[in-house]
A = this chain, B = another copy of it.
Amino acid sequence: MHRETWTKVESTLLLQDIGTGIMETIGTLKYDKDGLIPAVVQDSATGQVLMLAYMTAGTLQRTMKTGQTYFWSRSRQQVWHKGETSGNVQEVVDIKLDCDGDALLLLVRPAGPACHTGKMTCFHNTVASEASQ
């Protein structure tokens, strides 16, 4: 569990439905044993799935506070503000939680490509497809 320091904050995003405060919402998600929850990132305008990344309670809090995506880099073991270096930040439009509370879907407006290769999506390798395609 990554025990980042996080405190009561005001969110730039409106809390919905859950009927709880931001801290309670963040606290009740099902994180894995490393304190991570997977987050699917989708372009809110095109519907394209851009990437899959992982959040801690702390980076989710920061995402909700700032309205931009923050993740936990598993390779670098540190907080990762998407676009901090490239400028390709992602503005968050909507945050959804799945039915069993262990995965997030973030709808975003990306300022540029999601992938470090320069492609809009990280899912740019086709493994297999229908014969008719």
Contacts and interface: CB of A to CB of B under 8 A. Distances in A.
Interface size class of A (residues with CB under 8 A): 35 or more
Contacts of A99: 115-117, 119, 122, 124-125
Listed from nearest, the 3 A-B pairs whose CB atoms lie closest are A47-B47, A13-B128, A96-B123
Copies in the complex: 2
Interface of A: 11-18, 22, 25, 38, 40, 42, 46-49, 51-52, 64, 67, 92-100, 103-105, 115-117, 119, 122-131, 133
B126 A95 contact: yes
A130 B96 contact: no
Contacts of A116: 99
A60 to B, nearest CB: 9
